[in-house]
DNA sequence: AGCACGCCGACT
DNA sequence: GTCGGCGTGCTC
């Protein structure tokens, strides 16, 4: 038999190999082959009795690794579709749908799982001796109600390993290994539903076949409770559920809460797990040892004996789009999967993507609305601070300062949101105007004062902070613009009597640092939180009543067509942090342009209205969701080579009445890490037309490439970066 | 993407 | 005389 093998190489075609079996193995089984002198694992993707190739060329399958397909029928079809839709090699698509451990290693280990438990001999006095604030205390606290797996502990207490070592020495805790996940302790307390939640749930329950829902619920309206009830219903039927969350949204608290609430075997799948842990979760789900998998983007490829429901939380989140290699959108593939499987899927968001809103108005998504806040009495009030009439220092206006003081004095917590880390955006010589730039990206370097460095936030380049201008040797160097570090310093000077907690990528370097920082805020004592978008999602601060947003003007004028949508979603999310408990929240937005229509619309706290405004803009400019778009990106150290390639690529593209091509234009970051970057945007009102055009056009591209020139094709690009 | 093969410049 | 640059072509 001749097998047609999909190989994990960018070459977008199948390769034929001779197989010495009587009949062809099932599609999706792995095989070991020699490909151009290298050993490789490929996937059976077809077969035939004969081959047109000469016997000399045709090689043998060295080993059939799996007797059965690794992919259930509906996932296989989804992946075949994905390869076609994203115009990516099937072999790479299949390979990426597997945990990386299974891409290289042929046999998987017997899945087993390590649990940590309090020793039977440990009495309560020993438990009391461990300080509650230490990692050891936290570990004991977690284990008090039963054993937890290493995976659960990684999620709940990232720094648990060191504490475990210490406690194990004193025989307070011990480790044992079992071959499957066990259900956590049962916890039946569940909040009651309001009328809207119940109505949404009834609608979801009414249909057991494919139906896609858009659960549009404002922050605090109880979307999660609807997900959990819907999942529970599915579990009661003996089926399993998949819950996708954004990268940043998978907090230990979320997982723990869901685990307890559902009293089900819950697996977690995210990028911080080790390869073997991911494989374990993947294998366990497939083997029916898990009821629910919560995971980020790549968890969309998890398989179950009888998957009954998919939920996508924060469906608008950009982290669902893979930004390199096989550039899939997990939400869109989940929709495809649910459709092929004939099961319901829920997309949830307080700020749905324009794509989903449009799908809802076209009845491709059934809209379910939650407009009542479950716990808080009212929505936060939004106020704009006009920076043109307000003096400001270190990025903070006088008005904001007064409001912060008032809130703190009233015993409340304050969040100062600034989506830029570091001390200052740039350094400028006051006598000659010199601004240090990254030699590889040509962007102004960010000042990091604590680290005493100038850093490039795009490529990671850094150099020591100058004390004198390298150009004119003046020592008058001004730090321009305020990042989180500077704002923290400024706040510390003005509010010395209150604790200030900064949360951004610089402050939260190590595992567990985020938990530590959040714990400092968790007791509800008055304090100031300063941070980037790390703070915007998922975390609940009941005592937080005031949010101050610093410097969001850049998002109003970006060249990226999705920038304003993102800004609005971010501002809504940040606003949602305020006043979740009984106290009403307030949001102060500092801007140089408070009259900007988007900011004016934010006032009304009505996302639908803002979305309509944005939608109108997109319709005018014929951009997604009113057109299908694709993007050709290329980069090279040699500008001329890059320009030549892009010009030729453009010339070959069959522009017509229904097909448009914009560019070549420099990328949003025209130079990054020493490479010049350019892009070509292709759009059409007809998705099929665009797809066909790109399909034939793309075959001509390899002939245009030179050494040191890389290009990639992005279908449904998320940004113009 | 890799990797081999192949044809022209600066070294022992 | 050779070592090595990367342009071109192939992978069942």
pLDDT digits (tens, 9 = 90+) for A692-714: 999 989 988 888 887 788 999 99
**Residue lying closest to nucleotide C9, CA to C1':** A703
> If DSSP codes are grouped into helix, strand and coil, which group holds residue A423?
coil
- Of chain A, the end-to-end C-alpha distance in Å amounts to 47
CB A251 within 8 A of CB A231: no
Nearest nucleotide, CA A35 to C1': C11
Q: How far is the CA of A700 from the C1' of C4 (A)?
A: 32
* Residue, of A517 and A463, whose pLDDT is higher: A463
Q: Which nucleotide is nearest to A710 (CA to C1')?
A: B1
Identify the residues numbered 686 to 715 in chain A whose C-beta atom is closer than 7 Å to any atom of strand B.
710
User: What pLDDT does A128 receive?
Assistant: 65
The winner for highest mean pLDDT among A81-95, A240-254, A409-423, A616-630 is A81-95
Q: What mean pLDDT comes out for the span A661-685?
A: 88
Q: How far is the CA of A703 from the C1' of C1 (A)?
A: 37
Chain A, 26-85: which CBs lie within 7 Å of strand B?
36-38
SS3 A416: strand
Q: Are A586 and A545 in contact (CB under 8 A)?
A: yes
Note whether A106 and A32 are within 8 A (CB): yes
- pLDDT score recorded for residue A329: 98
- Tokens 């034939």 — which residue? A696
Token pair for residue A386? 């006009």
What are the backbone angles phi and psi of residue A212, rounded to the nearest 5°?
Answer: -100, 130
Region A643-647: mean pLDDT is: 89
A88-97, A423-432, A539-548: which range is least confident on average? A539-548
pLDDT at A220 over 60: yes
- Rounded distance, CA A286 to CA A303, Å? 5
Contacts for A65 with CB less than 8 Å, ≥ 6 apart: A29, A30, A31, A32, A41, A106, A107
**Is there a contact between A243 and A264 (Cβ–Cβ < 8 Å)?**
no
pLDDT of residue A411: 86
CA dist A488 and A147 (Å) reads 40
Enclosing H/E stretch for A165: helix A160-169
pTM: 0.87
pLDDT-derived band at A408, boundaries 50, 70, 90: confident
- What average pLDDT does this structure show over A538-552? 82
- The mean pLDDT of A478-506, rounded to a whole number, is 87
Q: What mean pLDDT, rounded, does chain A reach?
A: 87
Question: How far apart, in whole angstroms, are the C-alpha atoms of residue A77 and residue A196?
Answer: 36
The nucleotide lying nearest A51 (C-alpha to C1') is C12
Cis before A481? omega within 30:
no
Query: Which residues of chain A (1-30) touch nucleic strand B at CB < 7 A?
Result: 9-11
CA distance A62 to A106: 12
- C-beta separation of A240 from A304 below 8 A: yes
User: Which nucleotide's C1' sits nearest to the alpha carbon of A40?
Assistant: C11
Q: What proportion of chain A, given as a percentage, has pLDDT over 90? A: 38
Q: Which bases along strand B come within 7 Å of a protein CB atom?
A: 1-4
- Distances A205 to A202, A209, A362 between C-alpha atoms, Å: 5, 10, 22
Nearest nucleotide from residue A4 CA, by C1' atom: C12
Asked, as a colleague might, if the bond just before A625 is cis with ω within 30 of 0, I would say yes
The pairing of beta strand A544-549 with beta strand A659-672: unpaired
What 3-state class would DSSP assign to A6?
Answer: strand
pLDDT at residue number A24 = 92
The reported pLDDT for the residue numbered A184 is 56
- The confidence score (pLDDT) of residue A659 equals 94
**Long-range contacts of the stretch A46-52 (C-beta < 8 A, 24+):** A46/A3, A46/A4, A46/A14, A47/A1, A47/A2, A47/A3, A47/A4, A47/A19, A48/A1, A48/A2, A48/A4, A48/A16, A49/A1, A49/A2, A50/A2, A51/A2, A51/A16, A51/A18
Quick check: A439 and A673 in contact, CB under 8 A? no
Q: How confident is the model at residue A391 (pLDDT cuts 50, 70, 90)?
A: confident
Backbone angles phi and psi of A181, in degrees to 5: -75, 140
The spacing between the Cα labelled CA in A435 and the C1' in C1, in angstroms, equals 54
* Residue–nucleotide distance: A109 CA to C11 C1' (Å): 32
Q: According to the model, what pLDDT value does residue A179 have?
A: 52
Phi, psi of A395 (to 5 degrees): 85, -10
What distance in Å separates the CA atoms of residue A515 and residue A534, rounded to the nearest whole number?
12
Dihedral of the alpha carbons of A248, A254, A255, A259, in degrees to the nearest 10: -160
CA of A703 to C1' of B4 (A): 19
Enumerate residues near strand C (beta carbon within 7 A): A 9, 11, 15-17, 34-36, 53, 57-59, 706-707
Measured from Cα to the C1' atom, the residue closest to C11 is A36
- Average pLDDT over every residue of A648-665: 90
The nucleotide closest to A36 (CA, C1' atoms): C11
pLDDT the model gives residue A582: 67
CA distance A29 to A69: 4
The C1' atom of C5 and the CA atom of A638 lie apart, in whole Å, by: 18
State phi, psi for A552 to the nearest 5 degrees: -110, 5
Question: Going by C-beta distance under 8 Å and a sequence separation of 6 or more, which residues neighbour residue A47?
Answer: A1, A2, A3, A4, A19, A24
pLDDT score for A358: 97
pLDDT for A527: 85
| Cα separation, A446 vs A467, whole angstroms | 15
Determine if strand B comes within 7 Å of the CB of A600: no
CB A173 within 8 A of CB A116: yes
**Which nucleotides on chain C have any atom < 7 A from a protein Cβ?**
6-8, 10-12
Under 8 Å CB-to-CB from A349, ≥6 apart: which residues? A214, A215, A216, A217, A223, A313, A314, A315, A316, A356
The reported pLDDT for the residue numbered A107 is 54
Mean pLDDT of A346-368: 97
Determine the distance between A11 (CA) and C5 (C1') in angstroms: 27
CA atoms within 13 A on the CB side of A198: 5
Instruction: List C-alpha distances in Å: A626 to A189, A607, A623, A684, A716.
Output: 45, 19, 5, 9, 12
Interatomic separation, CA of residue A478 and C1' of nucleotide C2, rounded (Å): 58
Percent of chain A with pLDDT over 70: 93
Give the nucleotide at minimum CA-to-C1' distance from A703: C8
- Positive or negative, the Cα torsion across A204, A206, A210, A213? negative
> Of A31, A28, A8, A27, nearest to A19 (Cα)?
A31
Residues 6+ apart with CB under 8 A from A513: A507
**DSSP string covering A602-644, please?**
HHTT-HHHHHHHHHHHHHHHT-TTSSEEEEEEEEES-HHHHHH
Residue tagged 């004390």 (tokens): A467
Looking across all nucleic acid strands, the nucleotide with the smallest C1' to CA distance from residue A2 is C12
Q: Is the pLDDT of residue A41 over 60?
A: yes
Query: Do residues A519 and A159 lie in contact, with contact meaning Cβ atoms separated by under 8 Å?
Result: no
Give me the CA A37–C1' B3 separation in Å, rounded. Answer: 9
Q: Find the Å distance, CA of residue A587 to C1' of nucleotide C12.
A: 63
Residue A178 banded pLDDT, cuts 50, 70, 90: low
Would you state the pLDDT for residue A433? 86
Rounded (10°) CA dihedral A430, A431, A432, A433? 10
- Stronger pLDDT, A4 or A541, i.e. the higher one: A4
The separation, in Å, between residue A545 CA and nucleotide C1 C1' comes to 82
Q: What is the pLDDT of residue A57?
A: 85
Instruction: In whole angstroms, give the CA distance from residue A545 to residue A476.
Output: 40
- pLDDT bin (cut points 50, 70, 90) of residue A110 is low
Q: Count helices and strands (H / E) in chain A.
A: 21, 33
pLDDT exceeds 60 at position A108 = no
Q: Are A230 and A201 in contact (CB under 8 A)?
A: yes
Q: How far apart are CA A332 and CA A389, in angstroms?
A: 46
- In degrees, rounded to 5, the angle at the alpha carbon of residue A330 between the alpha carbons of residues A44 and A299 is 70
User: Stated in angstroms, how far is A671 CA from B6 C1'?
Assistant: 34
What pLDDT, in 10s, does the model give residues A130-158? 655 688 888 888 888 777 888 788 888 88
How many Å from the CA of A297 to C1' of B3? 34
pLDDT of residue A181: 53
d(CA A103, C1' C11) / Å: 20
Whole-number pLDDT of residue A581: 58
Nearest nt (C1') from A709 Cα: B1
């Amino acid at each position: 038999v001749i097998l047609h093998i999909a190989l994990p190489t960018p070459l977008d075609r199948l390769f034929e190999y001779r197989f010495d079996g009587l009949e062809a193995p099932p599609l999706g089984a792995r095989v070991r082959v020699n490909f151009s002198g290298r050993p490789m694992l490929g996937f059976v993707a077809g077969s035939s009795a004969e081959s047109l190739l000469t016997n000399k060329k045709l090689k043998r399958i060295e080993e059939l690794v799996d007797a059965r397909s690794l992919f259930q029928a509906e996932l296989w079809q989804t992946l075949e579709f994905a390869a076609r839709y994203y115009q990516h090699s099937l072999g790479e698509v299949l390979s990426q749908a597997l945990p990386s451990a299974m891409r290289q290693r042929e046999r998987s280990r017997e899945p087993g799982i390590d649990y940590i438990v309090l020793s039977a001999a440990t009495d309560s006095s020993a438990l009391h001796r461990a300080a509650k604030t230490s990692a050891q205390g936290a570990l004991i606290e977690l284990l008090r109600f039963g054993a937890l797996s290493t995976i659960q502990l990684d999620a709940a207490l990232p720094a648990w390993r060191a504490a475990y070592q210490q406690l194990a020495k004193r025989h307070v805790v011990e480790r044992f290994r079992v071959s499957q996940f066990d259900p956590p302790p049962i916890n039946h307390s569940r909040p009651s539903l309001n009328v809207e939640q119940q109505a949404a749930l009834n609608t979801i329950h009414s249909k057991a076949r494919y139906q896609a829902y858009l659960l549009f619920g404002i922050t605090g309206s109880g979307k999660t409770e609807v997900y959990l009830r819907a999942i529970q219903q599915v579990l009661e039927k003996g089926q399993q559920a998949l819950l996708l969350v954004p990268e940043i949204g998978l907090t230990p608290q979320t997982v723990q809460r869901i685990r307890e609430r559902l009293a089900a075997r819950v697996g977690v799948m995210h990028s911080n797990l080790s390869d073997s842990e991911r494989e374990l979760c993947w294998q366990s789900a497939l083997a029916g040892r898990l009821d629910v998998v919560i995971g980020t983007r790549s968890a969309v490829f998890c398989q179950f004996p009888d998957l009954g429901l998919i939920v996508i939380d924060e469906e608008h989140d950009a982290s669902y789009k893979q930004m390199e290699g096989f550039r899939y959108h997990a939400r869109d593939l989940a929709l495809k999967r649910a459709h092929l499987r004939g099961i319901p899927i829920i997309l949830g968001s307080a700020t749905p993507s324009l794509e989903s809103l449009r799908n809802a108005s076209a009845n491709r998504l059934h809209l379910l609305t939650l407009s009542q806040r479950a716990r808080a009495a009212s929505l936060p009030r939004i106020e704009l601070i006009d920076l043109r009439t307000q003096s400001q220092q270190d990025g903070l206006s006088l008005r904001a300062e007064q409001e912060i003081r008032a809130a703190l004095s009233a015993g409340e917590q304050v969040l100062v949101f600034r989506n830029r880390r570091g001390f200052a955006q740039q350094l400028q010589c006051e006598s000659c105007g010199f601004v240090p730039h990254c030699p590889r990206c040509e962007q102004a370097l960010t000042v990091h004062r604590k680290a005493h460095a100038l850093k490039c936030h795009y490529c990671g380049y850094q150099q020591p902070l100058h004390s004198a201008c390298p150009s004119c040797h003046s020592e008058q160097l001004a730090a321009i613009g305020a990042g989180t570090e500077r704002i923290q310093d400024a706040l510390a000077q003005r509010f010395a009597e209150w604790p200030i907690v900064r949360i951004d990528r610089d402050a939260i370097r190590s595992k567990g640092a985020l938990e530590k920082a959040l714990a400092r805020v968790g007791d509800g004592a008055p304090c100031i939180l300063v941070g980037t978008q790390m703070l915007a999602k998922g975390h609940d601060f009941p005592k937080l009543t005031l949010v101050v947003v610093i410097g969001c003007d850049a998002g109003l004028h970006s060249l990226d067509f999705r920038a304003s949508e993102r800004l609005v979603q971010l501002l809504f999310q940040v606003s949602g942090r305020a006043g979740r408990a009984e106290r009403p929240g307030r949001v102060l937005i500092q801007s140089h342009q408070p009259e900007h229509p988007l900011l004016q619309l934010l006032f009304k706290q009505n996302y639908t209205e803002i979305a309509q405004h944005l939608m109108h803009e997109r319709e005018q400019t014929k951009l997604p969701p009113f057109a299908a778009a694709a993007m050709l990106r290329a980069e090279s150290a040699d500008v001329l080579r890059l320009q030549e390639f892009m010009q030729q690529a453009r010339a070959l593209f069959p522009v017509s009445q229904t097909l448009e091509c914009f560019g070549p234009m420099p990328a949003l970051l025209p130079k990054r890490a020493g490479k010049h970057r350019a892009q070509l945007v292709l759009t059409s009102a007809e998705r099929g037309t665009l797809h066909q055009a790109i399909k034939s056009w793309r075959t001509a591209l390899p002939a245009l490439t030179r050494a040191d020139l890389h290009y990639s094709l992005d279908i449904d690009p998320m940004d113009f970066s």
